[in-house]
């Protein structure tokens, strides 16, 4: 199960934090590290902070976007010290979130996403996530160093896997790449039917993406939705003739 869990770091500024993250992961049996446009990598400082986990750095996957990092994942969890955002995602504390991560890792790949040291994840990045996880801490000062947060969450994941505190998941969920194709199809149909008007687009697409990411249709349900969209397209074509 742990081999299906990846830790994704976005725009990490201090290379030492990448090394510390690798060490924290290896302590807890996690090996898949994805780096989205790190400021400096490879780095001697990262190697030094990794200590005996340098192999994780050597095998780390470098990508240019979060979308690329999570394309083959069925569950994406964003991390943040803040529990209030301009939009809401299902919110789990570290322990419950770890149990969900382990349960779904039995079926497919899961991503645990960490943002920048100074500002965390942007809202557009959280919109690509299914859940939001936080570490309960002193409300007067809840901000943790990113490597500390990784250590705590990886520990919770390891404990959930070892003690089997998670609930089995039977549903089969689509991968993020499949969801991306669905969103493109949905946008195409909404524009074709003029539900979305270019001059007054508003935030319809953002809200629909948030809705489907939150509700998480199963793979069979997503196929049905794609079928409905295709049926609408075919009907519109017939009406044009």
When computed from its CA atoms, the radius of gyration of the chain, rounded to whole angstroms, is 19
pLDDT for residue 200: 76
The closest of 61, 73, 14 to 33, measured between CA atoms, is: 61
3-state helix, strand, coil in the chain (%, to 5): 50, 15, 35
60-74: average pLDDT: 97
Residues with Cβ within 8 Å of residue 122, at least 6 apart in sequence: 115
The pLDDT > 90 percentage for the chain reads: 79
pLDDT for residue 25: 97
What are the beta bridge partners of residue 54? none
99-125: average pLDDT: 93
CB 63 within 8 A of CB 106: no
pLDDT for residue 86: 45
**For residue 183, pLDDT beyond 50:** yes
Within 10 angstroms of residue 201's Cβ, the number of other Cβ atoms is 12
What's the full length of the chain, in residues? 241
Cα separation of 232 and 54, whole Å? 53
The three-state secondary structure class of 84 is coil
Q: How far apart are the first and last CA of the chain?
A: 53
pLDDT for residue 182: 97
pTM for the structure as a whole:
0.91
**For residue 89, pLDDT beyond 80:** no
């Amino acid at each position: 199960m742990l081999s299906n869990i990846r830790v994704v770091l976005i725009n990490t500024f201090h290379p030492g934090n990448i090394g510390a993250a690798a060490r924290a992961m290896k302590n807890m049996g996690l090996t898949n590290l994805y780096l989205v446009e790190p400021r400096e990598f490879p780095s001697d400082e990262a190697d030094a902070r990794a200590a005996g986990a340098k192999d994780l750095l050597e095998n780390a996957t470098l990508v240019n976007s979060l979308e690329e990092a999570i394309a083959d994942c069925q569950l994406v969890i964003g991390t943040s010290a803040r529990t209030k955002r301009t939009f809401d995602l299902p919110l789990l504390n570290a322990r419950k979130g770890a149990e969900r991560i382990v349960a779904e890792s039995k079926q497919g790949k899961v991503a645990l996403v960490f943002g920048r040291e100074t500002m965390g994840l942007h809202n557009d990045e959280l919109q690509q996530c299914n859940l939001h996880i936080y570490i309960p801490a002193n409300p007067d000062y809840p901000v943790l160093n990113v490597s500390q947060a990784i250590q705590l969450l990886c520990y919770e994941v390891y404990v959930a896997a070892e003690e089997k505190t998670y609930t089995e998941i039977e549903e089969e969920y689509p991968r993020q790449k499949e969801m991306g194709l669905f969103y493109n199809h949905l946008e195409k149909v909404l524009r074709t039917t003029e539900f979305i008007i270019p001059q007054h687009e508003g935030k319809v697409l953002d809200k629909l993406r948030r809705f489907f990411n939150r509700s998480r249709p199963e793979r069979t349900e997503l196929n049905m939705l794609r079928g409905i969209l295709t049926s609408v397209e075919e009907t519109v074509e017939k009406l044009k003739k």
